[in-house]
Amino acid sequence: MGWKQQFIGFRTIVNKEIQRIFRIWQQTLMPTFITTALYFVVFGRVLGSRIHMIEGVDYLDFIAPGLVVLSIVTNSFVGSVSSLFGAKFGRHIEEVLVSPIHDMLVLLGYIVSGMVRGLVCGALVIVVELFFTHIHTSSVFLSLVVALLASFIFSTAGVINAIYAKTFDDVNLIPSFVITPLTFLGGVFYSVHSLTGIWYDISLINPISYIVTSFRHTYLGLPDDFFVPSLVILCVMLFVLFGVARYLFKHSVGLRH
């Protein structure tokens, strides 16, 4: 089977999942729009009226990049885990695995579909922010690089979760008890540089803190001497998670009944 035909299979997987995202937009896109507006009203207006400035930036402007990351990370993970687990639950993932499509392209198809949902939701957050903030992105290219890394990492993590999940409770376990705490402890609503002691040490092992800080640097132009090391750490995470997902897919671990 030639690579042209292989690519058609990959594109089919991605198109199917993208159509699903927009077909049920009330579940996949609308919650992001509403939740972001609530964050700005509750955290921005209430806390912003008391905090005013962080690192020389208006509080509303400061939390804006963190909310974009929050949306990208959460929706990338949920997008891929729901797509792959749905295929497992419906038993049609087995038909894909026995097809001539290379398992690498099948894996990438589910990862990219999760990334699309995460990036679309991130773009929706930016649209909402236009009504509350006055942001001029410092570097669109670097912001896009960080966003792509974040979405790829957590979409791949979602694939791994879907592979091991046996029930819908297993699908909801990681977002509720791992990703949500990590995002709220990752500097979305505050600066990790203001932390001291054990809380700062915890932020050093929190991958989302690197994403938020890096994205805030590219978004607002705030100084960040740790930007390049952060990108290196994110790239290492990407390759490790993708390697694990590739191994699981290659050996059909948890995918065949």
Q: Which two tokens stand for residue 187?
A: 């500097």
Please, which pLDDT band fits residue 44 given cuts at 50, 70 and 90? low
Structural domain contains residue 255: no
In this prediction, residue 71 carries a pLDDT of: 93
Domain total in the chain: 1
Residue 256 counted as domain residue: no
**Is 157 inside any structural domain?**
yes
Residue 257 lies in a domain: no
As a whole number of angstroms, the distance between CA 211 and CA 147 comes to: 8
State phi, psi for 136 to the nearest 5 degrees.
Answer: -120, 110
20-24, 56-60, 70-74, 236-240 — which is least confidently predicted? Answer: 56-60
Asked if 229 and 206 touch (Cβ cutoff 8 Å), the reply is: no
In terms of residue numbers, what domain contains 105? 3-250
pLDDT at position 172 is 85
The percentage of residues in the chain with a pLDDT greater than 90, rounded to a whole number, is 33
Residue 79, in any domain of the structure: yes
pLDDT level of residue 37 (50, 70, 90 thresholds): confident
**DSSP per-residue string spanning the chain:** --HHHHHHHHHHHHHHHHHHHHHTHHHHTHHHHHHHHHHIIIIIIIIHHHH-EETTEEHHHHHHHHHHHHHHHHHHHHHHHHHHHHHHHTT-HHHHHTSSS-HHHHHHHHHHHHHHHHHHHHHHHHHHHTTT-----S-HHHHHHHHHHHHHHHHHHHHHHHHH--SHHHHHHHIIIIIHHHHHTTTSSS-GGG--HHHHHHHHT-HHHHHHHHHHHHHH----TTHHHHHHHHHHHHHHHHHHHHHHHHTTTTT--
Confidence of residue 107 (pLDDT cuts 50, 70, 90): very high
Q: Is residue 119 assigned to a domain?
A: yes
Q: What is the pLDDT of residues 141-188, one digit of tens each?
A: 999 999 999 999 999 999 999 999 888 888 888 888 888 888 888 888
